Amino acid sequence: MKASNGLWKDLLDGQISAQHAEEIDTFETEIELRQQDKVDEKVFAETRLRRGTYGQRYDNGQRHDGSQSQTLAFADKQTKGPHTAWDAPGMQRIKIPYGGVNARQLDVMAELAEEYSDGIVHITTRQDFQLHFIHIEDTPSLMRRLAAVGITTREACGNSVRNICGCPFAGVCPDEAFDVTPYADALTQFLLGHPDAQNFGRKFKPSFSGCAQHACGLAAMHDMGLIAETREIDGQLQRGFRLVVGGGLGAVPRQAKLFDEFLPPEELLPIAQAIARVFGRHGEKKMRSRARMKFLIEKWGMEKFTAEVREERAGLKEDPRWTEYLPGVDQDCESAKRPPGELPEDTTGDQRYAHWLKTNLREQRQPGYVTVTVALPLGDLTADQTRSLADIVREFTNDTVRTTVEQNFVIRWVSKADVPALYAALDKVGLSEPGASNILDIVTCPGTDTCKLGISSSRGLAGELRTRLAEKSFQMDQAIQDLHIKVSGCFNSCGQHHVADIGFYGVSRTFQGYKVPHFQVVLGGQWEENGGSYGLPIVAIPSKRVPDALDRITGMYLTKRDKDERFVSFVKRIGKGAIREALDDLTSDAPTPEQDPNFYSDWADPRQYSLGDIGKGECAGEVVSQYEFEMAGAERMVFGAQLQLEGGNPDQAGKDAYDAMLRAAKALVLMQYDDVTSDPEEIVEEFKERYYDTEIFFDPFAGPKFADYFFATHEQAGTPFTADSAHHTIEEAQLFIEAVHSCYNKLRSEPATT
| CB closer to other proteins, 135 vs 362 | 135
Task: Give the Cα separation of 401 and 245 in Å (integer).
Answer: 29
73 binds other proteins (CB under 8 A): yes
The angle formed by the CA atoms of residues 738, 739 and 742, to the nearest 5 degrees, is 90
123 binds ligand SF4 (CB under 6 A): no
88 binds other proteins (CB under 8 A): yes
Task: Give the Cα separation of 423 and 490 in Å (integer).
Answer: 37
- Give residues 600-629 in contact with other proteins (rule: CB under 8 A): 604-607
Q: How far is the CB of 553 from other proteins (least distance, A)?
A: 23
Q: How far is the CB of 5 from ligand SF4 (least distance, A)?
A: 29
Contact 218, 361 (CB under 8 A): no
- Give residues 652-681 in contact with other proteins (rule: CB under 8 A): none
Residue of 41, 46, 66, 547 that binds other proteins (CB under 8 A): 66
Instruction: Tell me the residue type at 133.
Output: F
Residue of 454, 463, 537, 617 that binds ligand SF4 (CB under 6 A): 454
403 binds ligand SF4 (CB under 6 A): no
221 binds ligand SF4 (CB under 6 A): no
- Give residues 420-449 in contact with other proteins (rule: CB under 8 A): 429-430, 449
385 binds other proteins (CB under 8 A): yes
Q: How far is the CB of 63 from other proteins (least distance, A)?
A: 7
395 binds other proteins (CB under 8 A): no
- Mask: binding to ligand SF4, 492-531, rule CB under 6 A, as x and -? xxxx------------------------------------
617 binds ligand SF4 (CB under 6 A): no
Contact segment (CB under 6 A) with ligand SF4 among 21-29, 44-52, 453-461, 650-658 equals 453-461
Residue of 4, 62, 335, 719 that binds other proteins (CB under 8 A): 4
| CB closer to other proteins, 7 vs 632 | 7
Contact segment (CB under 8 A) with other proteins among 114-122, 166-174, 253-261, 553-561 equals 114-122
Q: How far is the CB of 701 from ligand SF4 (least distance, A)?
A: 9
Task: Give the Cα separation of 509 and 521 in Å (integer).
Answer: 14
How big is the site for ligand SF4, counted in residues (CB under 6 A)? 14
Q: How far is the CB of 53 from ligand SF4 (least distance, A)?
A: 16
User: What does the DSSP 8-state code read for residue 170?
Assistant: T
| CB closer to other proteins, 3 vs 18 | 3
| CB closer to ligand SF4, 692 vs 709 | 709
DSSP letters, 637-695, are HHHHHHHHHHTT-HHHHHHHHHHHHHHHHHHHHHHH-TT--S-HHHHHHHHIIIIITT-
Q: How many CA atoms lie within 13 A of 68 on its CB side?
A: 3
What radius of gyration, in Å, describes the C-alpha atoms of the chain?
A: 26
| CB closer to ligand SF4, 122 vs 666 | 122
User: What does the DSSP 8-state code read for residue 498?
Assistant: G
Contact of residue 446 among other proteins, ligand SF4, none (CB under 5-8 Å per partner type): ligand SF4
Residue of 41, 46, 114, 363 that binds other proteins (CB under 8 A): 114
| CB closer to other proteins, 1 vs 620 | 1
Strand pairing category for 90-94 and 53-54: antiparallel
For the chain, how far is it from start to end, CA to CA, in angstroms?
47
**How many residues make up the chain in this entry?**
754
Residue of 489, 503, 525, 650 that binds ligand SF4 (CB under 6 A): 489
Residue of 156, 451, 462, 676 that binds ligand SF4 (CB under 6 A): 451
Task: Give the Cα separation of 676 and 669 in Å (integer).
Answer: 7
CA 593 to chain centre: 33
133 binds other proteins (CB under 8 A): yes
15 binds other proteins (CB under 8 A): no
190 Rama class: left (phi>0) / alpha (psi -120 to 50) / beta:
alpha
- Mask: binding to ligand SF4, 237-276, rule CB under 6 A, as x and -? ----------------------------------------
CA 592 to chain centre: 34
Task: Give the Cα separation of 369 and 351 in Å (integer).
Answer: 23
137 binds other proteins (CB under 8 A): no
CB atoms within 10 A of CB 732: 23
CB atoms within 10 A of CB 434: 23
57 binds other proteins (CB under 8 A): yes
Contact 369, 413 (CB under 8 A): yes
Q: E strands along 57-149, which residues? A: 62-64, 69-71, 79-81, 84-85, 90-94, 100-101, 120-123, 129-134
Task: Give the Cα separation of 215 and 534 in Å (integer).
Answer: 13
Task: Give the Cα separation of 487 and 483 in Å (integer).
Answer: 13
| CB closer to other proteins, 18 vs 73 | 73
**Comparing C-alpha atoms, which of 544, 545, 520, 476 is closest to residue 635?**
520
435 Rama class: left (phi>0) / alpha (psi -120 to 50) / beta:
left
705 binds other proteins (CB under 8 A): no
Contact 389, 373 (CB under 8 A): no
Contact segment (CB under 8 A) with other proteins among 128-136, 355-363, 407-415, 583-591 equals 128-136
| CB closer to other proteins, 217 vs 377 | 377
Binding site for ligand SF4 (CB under 6 A): 445-447, 451, 453-454, 458, 488-490, 492-495
Q: Which residues in this chain contact other proteins in the complex, by CB under 8 A? A: 1-4, 7-8, 11, 57-58, 63, 65-67, 70, 72-74, 87-89, 107, 110-111, 114-115, 118-120, 132-133, 135, 377-378, 380-382, 384-385, 387, 429-430, 449, 459-460, 463, 466-467, 604-607
